[in-house]
Structure 1
Amino acid sequence: MSKNVLVVDDDPLGLPVLVEIFDGLGFHTISAASGREATKLLESNTSIDLVVTDVHMPEITGLDVFDAARKRDPHLPVVYITGFIPKPLQRVLAEASRTVVLQKPFELSALLRALNTVMPLDQPS
């Protein structure tokens, strides 16, 4: 059984690329094109093992997605993808476990390191 990853990105070019990457890594990928869509998925889907989210999105940000994820499961791993790290995110990271920031643009090796930081990756089964 593969691990389920919720991938969140409001960039219509970036989201399909992320989905393809995670599918290629053997994850079952659930995608959301907005923070609002992601929070609804987190409320209704209890089988999400990992959240990968863009930080800067209109209305509901990656930080809001993080809050929704941690309400569902306080230990749910979260990987932020961003071009820069705002101060509120720095505070969250200082206090949160199983959370990491991946700077854009990134290489696959950096993504794998980030994933291994938040969850054991003997490759998703």
Structure 2
Amino acid sequence: ATLCIYLPRHLGEAGEEDLPLPDDGSAAAAPGSKTILVVDDEPLVRMVTVEVLSDLGYSVLEAEDGPSALRVLAAYPELDLLVTDVGLPNGMNGRQLADAIRAPRPELPVLFVTGYAENAVLNHGHLERGMQVLTKPFAADVLARRVRELVGQESSDRSG
């Protein structure tokens, strides 16, 4: 079973990756930029998702499972969106992670990324307001549109 993802390659300005993460999340971040936490235990999927969102101008944090996502969140609490795979290892699935993160912040939007069977996890525990599901495999532009909907950046969307 091979996974092929074809995306337009964007080569940014040199040194783009060397930029330090903003300390307080506001001063150094681009005006209006949103912080997104991507949680996926598949390195390739996580890498592609992070790259697509970074190219769109979002500040992107990443984690491979629930416990590490909570550690990242403790260090960078100013999160605007959680993008998480439903099937995660180490005792915490994406839905449980979302519930844990939303306990103190019920308004935080969540985008669940899911394949086949995992959809049942979500359908049986119905989605709350501010939660959406994206089924794998997905196209980069679909991901971008969903993220924009959830973080409310329609203003930056140049509709043609």
Count of residue pairs brought into register by the alignment: 123
Give 1:45 deviation, angstroms: 2.7
The answer to whether residue 123 in structure 2 is matched with residue 90 in structure 1 is yes
Distance, in Å, in 2 between the alignment partners of 1:79 and 1:49 is 11
The answer to whether residue 150 in structure 2 is matched with residue 118 in structure 1 is yes
Match of 1:63 in 2: 95
**SS of 1:52's equivalent?**
strand
**SS of 2:38's equivalent?**
strand
Contact (CA 8 Å) 1:5, 1:28: kept in 2 or not? yes
| Pair member with larger Rg | 2
Deviations, residues 22-80 of structure 1 (Å, cap 9, x unaligned)? 10111000110111111222344320000000000112110121112211310101000
Give 1:87 deviation, angstroms: 3.0
Structure 1, gaps ≥5 residues long: none
TM-score (structure 1 length as normaliser): 0.86
Structure 2, gaps ≥5 residues long: 1-30
Identity %: 35
Cα RMSD between the aligned structures? Answer: 1.9
Contact (CA 8 Å) 2:34, 2:151: kept in 1 or not? no
Q: Higher mean Cα deviation, 79-88 or 44-53?
A: 79-88
In terms of fraction of residues, the more helix-rich structure is 1
Give 1:118 deviation, angstroms: 2.2
Q: Which has the higher contact order (CA 8 A, sep 6+)?
A: 1
Match of 1:7 in 2: 38
In terms of fraction of residues, the more strand-rich structure is 1
Distance, in Å, in 2 between the alignment partners of 1:117 and 1:92 is 22
Instruction: Name which of 20, 27, 39 aligns with 2:58.
Output: 27
Distance, in Å, in 1 between the alignment partners of 2:41 and 2:95 is 14
**SS of 1:13's equivalent?**
helix
